[in-house]
Amino acid sequence: MRKRVTLGLLLVFALFSISATYKTPEAGSSINFFKGSYKEALIEAKKENKLIFIDAYTSWCGPCKLLKQNTFTDKAVIAYFNEHFINVSMDVEKGEGPAIATKYNVTHYPTLIITDKDGKRITFTVGYIQPDDLLGFGKYGIEKGPGSASL
């Protein structure tokens, strides 16, 4: 019984440690996420002839916070994703997030999704990934996506 309590306390401490070490990226030092509704992002994607990158996260998810802190702030990731995608970051537990989670069958966090400009899913991945892996994921999405995506 004492071991369970100790393990439980260690787990709680570890989760709080991850939250405490998370720093919000400064403006311009992260992927440029679209400031509007998902419907507006679809309109923008059509207008700019780009694919959509969705970061589906929750506020309590440690790996989601690490992704924002470590991967989305990588200079190569920022340049590539800002050039090739309309980027959407969505808390799937708030606002229009639950509907998006249902639409794309999001059950684990973070889930990263690439869609075409009409919202049809091209590819997805689940969990924390390093910057080089995210770049590969983005390039794969562009290669697999419709030929109308801007390169």
Higher per-residue pLDDT: 42 or 29:
42
Estimate the crossing angle of helix 131-144 against helix 75-84, to 10 degrees: 20
pLDDT at 147 over 90: no
Is the pTM here over 0.75, yes or no? yes
Residue 106, burial from CB neighbour count under 10 angstroms (0-12, 13-18, 19+): buried
The bridge status of strand 51-57 relative to strand 111-115 is: antiparallel
Structure tokens at 122: 């091209």
Instruction: Please name which of 60, 57, 51 lies closest in space to residue 72, comparing C-alpha atoms.
Output: 57
What's the pLDDT tens digit per position in 71-125? 999 999 999 999 999 999 999 999 999 999 999 999 999 999 999 999 999 999 9
- Residues catalogued as catalytic: 61, 64
Where do the domains of the chain lie, and which CATH numbers do they carry?
2-144 (3.40.30.10)
Query: What are the helix (H) ranges across the chain?
Result: 2-21, 38-48, 62-66, 75-84, 97-103, 131-144
Quickly state the pLDDT bin for 141 (edges 50, 70, 90): very high
For 92, phi then psi, to 5°, come to: -75, 5
